[in-house]
Structure 1
Amino acid sequence: MAYDGSIGSTFYQNTPWFASEKIVSLKLKHHALDRHIAMFLCRLIHNQKNKYSYGYKWSVGLRMNRGKILLPVTDGGAPDFEYMAAYVRNIEEHILQRYREFISIVPPPKKIQSLNEKLWREFFIGELFRLEAGKSKGLTHLAADERGISYLGATNRNNAVLSFVRPVEDLIQRGNCIAFIRNGEGSIGYSVYKREDFIVTSDITCGYADFLNEFVGLFITTIADKVRGKYNFNYKRSDSRLKREKIQLPVTDDGAPDFAYMAAYAKNLVAEQYRRYLAYIDGE
């Protein structure tokens, strides 16, 4: 559990790990801890985080020892760990059943040409997309809201989502676009596809196109990420460089980008990944 920084963020770890000094390890005193019990407790502990802030830390010692959480109990008043585990298992099974139902209607992979069999050609980013710069000046100007709109920043993790914030109409970018990260040490040069609306920092430029959908976006971002090695702190991905950036794409016989092929290829990969995951969870 984090008692500084992301105060109250709580996670279950079932493998050996190490962490910074801002993390404290919690173990049950009188009961074995398993994944299901831990997930129940993590949610309750996480709900305490709004009590704390930079000026009022959840410090190790008296304040943490006196912290309280509400738990379901047995008739004798003891924590009902069996109920907690069963509650989480029921939620998991409900989610997995919905997943199985979803997988059952996903079309099986289609037979298409391999990547090596397709013709490829270079295209400029600027000729493929209408580019719009991000409008936000930073998270400090926005109100955090876990149920709000996603806020994108210069990170290659979590599909570039840094946080969730209260929507501000003038700052919202439309979804169904590719977000090109132009700045940020370690993430400059990456690209992500965004299906939903979002707010984004000025370190990111958004690319829109009529041909774009989720599967074409996944294909193109994978290709576009190959250029990230050319950028660094001293050689930024400026707007002008982004427009002149080249990516290789599969093409039709007349030399146009073969977006139908890109979508089919990405759909095949997604369908195969779904089925592999389903086989894994059913085998647990």
Structure 2
Amino acid sequence: MNNLSLESRCWNTFFIEDVAEIVSGRDIYEKERWDGLVPYITATANNNGIGYFVANNNDTLERGCLSVNRNGSVGYCFYHPYEALYGNDTRKLRLKRNNRYVALFISLCITKQREKYGYGYKMGTGRLKRQRILLPVDASDNPDWAFMEAYMKQKEKQILKPTIERLCKQLITSDILGGGKTLYSNWKEFVFGEEFSIQSTNSGIDKNKLNQKDGVIPYITRSDLNNGMDMFVTEQSLRYKVDEGNVITIGLDTQTVFYQPTSFYTGQNIQIIRHAKLDRYNAMFLIVAIKKLVEKFSWGSYGATLTRLRKSRVYLPATDNGEIDFAFMSSFMKEVEHNILNTTLKVFKDRISINKSKMGGGKMEELPLV
């Protein structure tokens, strides 16, 4: 099937319980939670519903399910092809047709219904079972699973093709810039505040005083999600100065460290790290070292302060002259990027080739794998 369209199909309404078994999750309370590698699904609209990674196990551990938030970010529906644990603020859906592409299609259909729900009208098990969703149907008026699968494969190919082309260009650029040519470097301890400019943010706008009108300027907070960005905002009043980009931001008390390539505003208690030789590559290297540095700060007797940060020592690559080796850090991270791009590109190309073969199409248009 080629050039599939939603408009060309017949549609009908179905209860969610007609297409999926609905099961309650079970909470893992914070004091019982152990850090690990198992995704723990909570009522968040971010990170595909993953709130934490844990080492716990309980009877909600399962692979290949949908999750629906019944609290917090009510109504968002996500697909989990991996083994995951599900909290009580989610409902786990076991689809009667367990297929990745069908699951993605249905998750979008469910999420479209979220506007009618909220804190006072939660999407609990009973309401979820009787919630109607529109689905394409076959000649027998049953859900057209084959169409849903084929349509989502088509959408995936449409999305991945420009992504692959962009990755190819990035990979070529990475080669030109020196990817794959890491140099040897010595290492040395440096006093952080003697090598870098460390200042409080120019803005520091409390969120309740923020002009939250949509714009293009990132508003950076101490969150550990989305590069620290809470939202995009418009220009603020003149009392708040925008911070220039090409810097590293630190939320000391939350130990969050990110590179900001463009101008931005911030919430409170954000520190700004600047250096004339900073770029997006060596910044990624430095972030790892800075995170190690701030891990020692705590809420107790050795709290996170700007003075302590400036006096702290950080272990970094050094040149023969004993200066920080920014060139080495940039070269190293270019090689890391080069390897990631190459691997990602191969995965995407393989996925499209497999889908094309399953759909009975001809040979996929070749894209260069450099």
Mapped to 1, the partners of 2:124 and 2:219 lie a distance apart of 29
Q: Does 1:207 align with 2:273?
A: yes
Counterpart amino acid of residue 104 in structure 2: M
Match of 1:4, SS state, is: coil
Q: Which residue of 2 aligns with 1:95?
A: 159
* Superposed counterparts of 1:33-182, under 5 Å: 33-61=98-126, 63-74=127-138, 77-105=141-169, 106=171, 107-108=174-175, 109-114=179-184, 117-125=185-193, 127-133=195-201, 135-138=204-207, 143=212, 150-161=218-229, 163-164=230-231, 166-167=233-234, 169-170=236-237, 173-182=243-252
- Contact (CA 8 Å) 2:200, 2:272: kept in 1 or not? yes
Match of 1:243 among 310, 315, 319: 310
The 1:82/1:199 distance shift into structure 2, 3 A limit, reads farther
Match of 2:200, SS state, is: strand
Q: Which residue of 1 aligns with 2:288?
A: 222
Range 133-142 or range 271-280, more displaced: 133-142
Counterpart amino acid of residue 32 in structure 1: R
Q: Unmatched 5+ residue regions in structure 2?
A: 1-67, 352-370
Match of 2:85, SS state, is: coil
Mapped to 2, the partners of 1:139 and 1:15 lie a distance apart of 38
Q: Which runs of 4+ in 1 moved over 6 A?
A: none
Q: Which residue of 2 aligns with 1:269?
A: 336
Match of 1:26, SS state, is: strand
- Contact (CA 8 Å) 1:121, 1:248: kept in 2 or not? yes
Mapped to 1, the partners of 2:144 and 2:104 lie a distance apart of 14
Match of 1:231, SS state, is: coil
CA shift at 1:50, angstroms? 3.2
- Contact (CA 8 Å) 2:187, 2:315: kept in 1 or not? no
Counterpart amino acid of residue 33 in structure 1: N
Mapped to 2, the partners of 1:120 and 1:205 lie a distance apart of 24
Identity %: 25
Q: Does 1:2 align with 2:69?
A: yes
Aligned length in residues: 273
CA shift at 1:75, angstroms? 5.4
Counterpart amino acid of residue 237 in structure 1: A
The 1:164/1:66 distance shift into structure 2, 3 A limit, reads farther
- Contact (CA 8 Å) 2:190, 2:315: kept in 1 or not? yes
* TM-score (norm: length of structure 2): 0.64
The 1:158/1:126 distance shift into structure 2, 3 A limit, reads farther
Mapped to 1, the partners of 2:180 and 2:90 lie a distance apart of 47
CA shift at 1:130, angstroms? 4.8
Q: Unmatched 5+ residue regions in structure 1?
A: none
Deviation per residue, 1:143-186 (Å, 9 max, x gap): 597x976544334344334x4354453565443221112113xx
Match of 1:243, SS state, is: helix
* TM-score (norm: length of structure 1): 0.80
Mapped to 2, the partners of 1:169 and 1:141 lie a distance apart of 7
Coordinate RMSD, CA, aligned: 3.0
The 1:15/1:257 distance shift into structure 2, 3 A limit, reads closer
Counterpart amino acid of residue 180 in structure 2: K
Counterpart amino acid of residue 110 in structure 1: G
The 1:182/1:192 distance shift into structure 2, 3 A limit, reads same
